[in-house]
Amino acid sequence: MAQAPPRSLGRISEIAQVAVRHGFGYFFHRNKLTDLVGDDGQVVSDAPSERGRHLREMLDELGPTFVKFGQLLSMRPDVLPPDIIAELRGLQDDVTPFSYEEAAQVIEESLGQPVERLFLEFDPVPMAAASIGQVHGAVLPNGRRVAVKVQRPGAPRQIEADLNLMYQAARLAKERVRALDFIDARGLVDEFARAIRQELDYRLEARNAETFRKNFAGHPHVKVPRVYWSYTRPRVLTLEHIDGTQLADVDTLEYSLEDRRRLAEVLTDTWMTMIFRHGFFHGDPHPANILVLSPDNIGLVDFGLAGRLTDEDVSKATRLFIDVANENVEALPRRLADLGVRYPKEREEEYVVELRELFYRYYGATLEEIDPLQVVREVFGMIYRMNLRLPTRFV
């Protein structure tokens, strides 16, 4: 069996020490992994109320790539229990910006001219900074305002180094941690690696943006920015600037009840349209990626992650919704199986019973009687308890 390079093992040991510092010493002792941390590692309780917070804080300390991995895990209720999922959803891709000088160098290397010749104006202070890149406001020679996304220097090299460590950790988990046998750790890292490597080429994000813009052309309530291809390269992306308020920052007190209802309808209709009509949907509907232009109008930004559904996928999902609406509970396991949901065969009867109980707990109730977060928690809890396998493209 091939051994990890000494440098990788050293870094894995460092990561293990960070994990112990955040209260995961019990995990290394329980699974006889103390060779990575030493026998004097801190051992604390793995109480559900604390373990999610400890994991979130640990990933924050390990850096941007691990934060993004945690964000992926926050969408995998088939892998992690609901209490940890809830904590990981608090992870924000919020990192220290890199300098204007570094951004200007990336732009000049990519576009072949200095910033001063490319733009009438260029704000040296970024509007937003994330693990892979940051966004600057600028003005083109024709006077149009744009948002210029610039890749962080050294991002590909750092990401590849972190991915290598994740693969080493996945191998250790498979070989030595029996409690994680139900998780395809290598598959999880593969999924993450595909997604983050795609984000490194901004031309893919530009093509996604163009597809969304084409799909919503003429839509009265959804605005998608135009791509400026002559100012776009693998490490630089230039989009039309959309002037709006991030959904996360909207002051709902300034909106009437009718305004808030209308905004909710527009948001819901937008995503249902993407999924059931276009078969191409925004893969990161974070509140910071949705701009509110008015209660009737929204703008979409950040197209690095997008999901695709085939016509067959859409048909299967539609049939599932029809059966739900018609209270055809007995058909739900088959419909979910058609969509790729898998469960242990020996637990089929238990699975059907749980589905039926969950369905009738809420079917026919008014929205006033339902706590949406509680519904999500119960669904995620069932997924984890039943060890269901969910198809990645739907998660």
Q: What is the set of active-site residues?
A: 284
Q: Which residues of 81-108 are buried (b: 16+ CB within 10 A; e: fewer)?
A: bbbbbbbbbebebeeebbebeebbebbb
User: Rounded to the nearest 5°, which phi and psi values hold at 117?
Assistant: -90, -20
CA distance 150 to 234: 10
With a CB cutoff of 8 Å and minimum separation 6, the contacts of 283 are: 305, 306, 307
